[in-house]
Amino acid sequence: MELKKLIRQPANLFLNLLFPAVLTIVFIFAFADPELGMSLNSVVPGLIVYAVIFVIMTIAQSFSTERQEGLLKRLNTTPMTSGEFMGSQIITHMLISFLQVIVVFTLAFLLGFRPDSGILGIFLALPVTAIFSLSSVGLGLITATVSKTPEAATGISFVFILPQMFFGTFLPITSTTQQIAKFIPSYLLT
């Protein structure tokens, strides 16, 4: 259902796939400057993490909208169990998250990104990215559960998004912020 919504609604397509692509291009050209102390190899992992973090907001908005429109009540009348529905939400948003990672990585690679770890490091990063994606989907579902409206879901999701952005994703970790960053899921990916 979510994949159909991604294709049928241009706003969802832009938000989930094109926005990470645009953000990748902008960040690479704006911030990947060795004179500023930020190379392409330090910016791209943060962009990949941000693409995964962004799923928190999209799943919270989507789930809250479905609740507000009464879709979840209508689904209760079908033979589908709530576990099957939640499983489909998790799998779908993890797929969307991986699509975002592939878009960001492909664009970054075309623009000159070459990971220091080589191809083996990329394959070893995939399971860690999958676990991080699963935690982001979980945080999005928690946000959707707490919020009553899609607008509230957007605001509440930033409680999870902002700390991850500022503690290691885009800003370097210092000795002071490292103690806080250890408790944030994105710390392990950047």
d(CA 139, CA 131): 12
Give the pLDDT of residue 6: 63
The verdict on residue 6 lying in a domain is yes
Question: Mean of the per-residue pLDDT values for the chain?
Answer: 81
Rg (CA), the chain: 17
Structural domains in the chain (count) = 1
The verdict on residue 42 lying in a domain is yes
Both tokens assigned to 135? 């935690």
The verdict on residue 64 lying in a domain is yes
- Residues 147-169 have a mean pLDDT of 84
The verdict on residue 137 lying in a domain is yes
Q: What is the DSSP string of 34-93?
A: GGGT--HHHHHHHHHHHHHHHHHHHHHHHHHHHHHTTHHHHHTTSS--HHHHHHHHHHHH
pLDDT of 36 over the 70 cut: no
Number of Cβ atoms within 10 Å of the Cβ of 155: 13
The overall pTM is greater than 0.85: no
d(CA 135, CA 76): 26
Task: Report whether 89 contacts 59 (CB < 8 A).
Answer: yes
Number of Cβ atoms within 10 Å of the Cβ of 174: 9
The verdict on residue 143 lying in a domain is yes
Determine the 3-state secondary structure of 9 from DSSP.
coil
The verdict on residue 162 lying in a domain is no
Give the pLDDT of residue 143: 92
The helix (run of H) or strand (run of E) holding residue 141 is helix 118-146
Task: Report whether 97 contacts 51 (CB < 8 A).
Answer: yes
Task: Report whether 27 contacts 47 (CB < 8 A).
Answer: yes
The amino acid at residue 76 is N
- Which domain range does residue 133 map to? 2-157
- Residues 104-122 have a mean pLDDT of 84
pLDDT of 173 over the 70 cut: yes
Q: Which residues fall within 8 angstroms of residue 18, CB to CB, at 6 or more apart?
A: none
The amino acid at residue 33 is D
In tens, the pLDDT along 65-111 reads 888 888 878 888 888 888 888 888 888 888 888 888 888 888 888 88
The verdict on residue 169 lying in a domain is no
